[in-house]
A = this chain, B = another copy of it.
Amino acid sequence: MDIRTPAFQRLLEIWLDEDLGRGDLSANALQAEAKSAYWVAKEAGVFCGGIFAEAIFKRLDNEVNVKHLIKDGEKFDQNQKLLEIHGPGKALVAGERIALNIAMHLSGVATTTHLLASELKGSGVHLADTRKTTPGLRMLEKYAVKCGGGINHRLGLDDAAMLKENHIAWAENIDQAVLAIKESAPWPARIIVEAETAEQAEQAIKAGADGILLDEMSPALLHSLVPRLRALARTRVEITGANTVVIEASGVSPVHLKDYAKTGVDLISTSAPITKSSWIDLSMRFL
């Protein structure tokens, strides 16, 4: 996660604006001194958010120092200390809630991802995220998914083309839809086709898609379809330039992950780490 981007700097200002508003009433009224504090976990999980906490506190006061006792992506136990903070009291008090909110949410995402990814361990199948992310937090939640052991799918509408029902209808058929993207998009952009039937998947492969998303298909169906699609891909090298295809299953309930892991797909994409996770409870204690 690259916090140097203007996009992240804009977010940081949004967060402060939202909580500080016209200014912290208590900071305006009271004299404060330098304080030390630490973060402690009230339940176990996978940490995510230390780098953002540091950015928040330092934006409030450049004198704040943050010492990371655990890195983003590492596991922690209940009662474990996660980071130490030292600096002007007003910055610590003003940044506490914002920093905890982001880290509690993201650690929830990372922890849920970790649980789901564990189901796929050893299968060679990756758990990937989707574009179902909390508006404003896409990049942070995708970072949390990586912290939890998942991989990232495309970051936005400009990052890879995913052709769905409407796109195909506009282009009249899959062949022409794929062709239109190839002619228009930057060459490194992947083309993924969302297939609702085996026939669509086959057409997409013949058309030269880089990835096939198989939505809401049963493990049994995938079991027979996936090898067929891979074989079909191997035949296309002369025509379309690649004999492989990335096959992705979506619409998979977390409880069936293990069944899908055996179907030979490359990825299982799921929004569950974002849409179905709870925040991990963290606390900031002042010394």
Contact = CB atoms under 8 A, between A and B. Distances in A.
List the number of copies, as a whole number.
6
Interface in A76-133: 89, 91-94, 97-98, 100-102, 104-105, 108, 126, 128, 131-133
Given A23-B2, A243-B243, A151 B186 contact: yes
A186 B13 contact: no
Contact residue range for chain A?
A: 35 or more
A24 interface: yes
Interface in A3-21: 4-7, 9-11, 13-21
A16 B24 contact: no
Contacts of A221: none
A2 B27 contact: yes
Contacts of A227: none
Nearest to A189: B25
A197 interface: no
A192 interface: yes
Given A18-B135, A22-B155, A94-B157, 13 more contacts: A2-B27, A5-B17, A7-B17, A10-B14, A20-B156, A29-B161, A93-B167, A98-B135, A101-B135, A102-B135, A136-B136, A188-B192, A243-B244
Lowest 7 CB-CB distances: which A-B pairs, in order?
A2-B23, A29-B184, A136-B136, A21-B158, A160-B188, A152-B186, A275-B279
